[in-house]
Amino acid sequence: MFKMRSLFTALALAGSVSVAFAWETLPTEAPAPADNATTAEKVELGKMLYHDPRLSSTGTVSCASCHNTMLGGEDNRPNSMGVNGQTGGRSAPTVWNSAFNKVQFWDGRAASLEEQAAGPVTNPIEMGMKSWDDVVARLKTIEGYQVAFEAAFGKDAISKDNATKAIAAYERTLITPNSPYDKYVEGDKAALSAQQVRGMEKMAELGCTSCHSGPAFNGPGAFQTFPVMSNPYFEAQYHFKKDKGLAEVTKKDEDEHLWKVPTLRNIALTAPYFHNGSVKTLEEAVRLMGKLQLGKDLSKEEIADIVAFLDALTGTFPKQQMPTLPGTSGTTFN
């Protein structure tokens, strides 16, 4: 109950202090943990690993398969497709700006990008490797990786720890600044339309920003209950509660339906929405958030204004050079 109460307090406050609300722009660099300073060599290696389908059992699925760096950082599917066409129950979160998430995965079970990167590789329905020992053994057979790991970490450095550090270092570079919103906040008042400004103000007024604020619109807290309100009608349609969120990991009652607050950055590109990808359009997603999180029936105009504002959160995707993945003779996958 504490979480619900504090949410309502925040909402009540939000209505009165919306003018003073601080809109923040996206930093162009992400902070790195003390034990994994970002270096060009790590980023280059991480980019290779991130795009290498040989990190999967079938040789067909890379990190980028589900978190596509050529698109909005995910795959526009309700659930992703892993090795051998298998699918899970959750929708791939975007990798863009994931450096600014306080926790990782939909259920927030990983505290860092490094920890997150280790997961999908050995998940049987995602990349399907039997163990990280197998991944490391495979990487060691590829001469180009021996060179790239040495450049990034020193001699004989191919390990799970260094592979995930490199992937995380690369992910910290996946930032999309200069959205119309950022330009507006920095003073370019022509960057947003009148409708988008209305939507922006509406989000603060309604209290959306209680959970979705800060540079990536995913704070100040890390977690939030979803849905807050019980609504049998929507539940029958979208099955949000079938998945218990953090409680699936912790098995604690108080963690039921607790989720990482997802970023709103580039949200126009990342349909379908919510943890189970059950909602196809941004309009419906906004309507549901009003009803299920705030207990409000938003008008068509309010929804349209907010969606127009969310469109303004699409940033500039950095130009990246395609990695050339080091080959090896006699490789085959089944």
Residue with tokens 């395609």: 322
**Which stretches of the chain bind a copy of itself, using CB under 8 A?**
51-54, 58-60, 65, 68-72, 75-78, 81, 83-86, 268-269, 271-272, 277, 280-282, 311, 314, 317, 319-325, 327-334
Q: Which is nearer to a copy of itself, 11 or 66 (CB)?
A: 66
Q: Which residues pair with 225 in a beta bridge?
A: 258
* Amino acid letter for position 235: E
Q: Count the Cβ atoms, other than its own, within 10 Å of residue 160.
A: 17
Q: Which is nearer to a copy of itself, 62 or 210 (CB)?
A: 62
Q: Which is nearer to a copy of itself, 16 or 329 (CB)?
A: 329
CA dist 199 → 25, 73, 159, 196 (Å): 17, 25, 48, 5
- Nearest-approach distance from CB 138 to a copy of itself, in angstroms: 11
Q: Which is nearer to a copy of itself, 90 or 244 (CB)?
A: 90
- Nearest-approach distance from CB 311 to a copy of itself, in angstroms: 8
Is 126 a known active-site residue?
A: yes
> Contact 94/75 with Cβ under 8 angstroms?
no
Q: Which is nearer to a copy of itself, 256 or 283 (CB)?
A: 283
Peptide bond into 220 cis (omega under 30): yes
- Nearest-approach distance from CB 313 to a copy of itself, in angstroms: 12
Q: Which residues pair with 223 in a beta bridge?
A: 260
> Contact 62/323 with Cβ under 8 angstroms?
no
Q: Where are the beta strands (DSSP E) in 196-295?
A: 223-225, 258-260
Q: Which is nearer to a copy of itself, 182 or 255 (CB)?
A: 182
> Contact 311/271 with Cβ under 8 angstroms?
no
Catalytic residue among 126, 171, 284, 302: 126
Q: Which residues contact 96 (CB under 8 A, 6 or more apart)?
A: 69, 72, 73, 174, 175, 176, 265, 266, 315, 317
- Nearest-approach distance from CB 235 to a copy of itself, in angstroms: 20
Report d(CA 182, CA 314) in Å as an integer.
10
- Per-residue burial over 216-242, b if 16 or more Cβ lie within 10 Å, else e, is bbbbebebbbbbbeebeebeeebebee
Q: Which residues contact 112 (CB under 8 A, 6 or more apart)?
A: 33, 104, 168
Q: Which is nearer to a copy of itself, 83 or 103 (CB)?
A: 83
The C-alpha R_g of the chain, in whole angstroms, comes to 21
Active site residues: 126
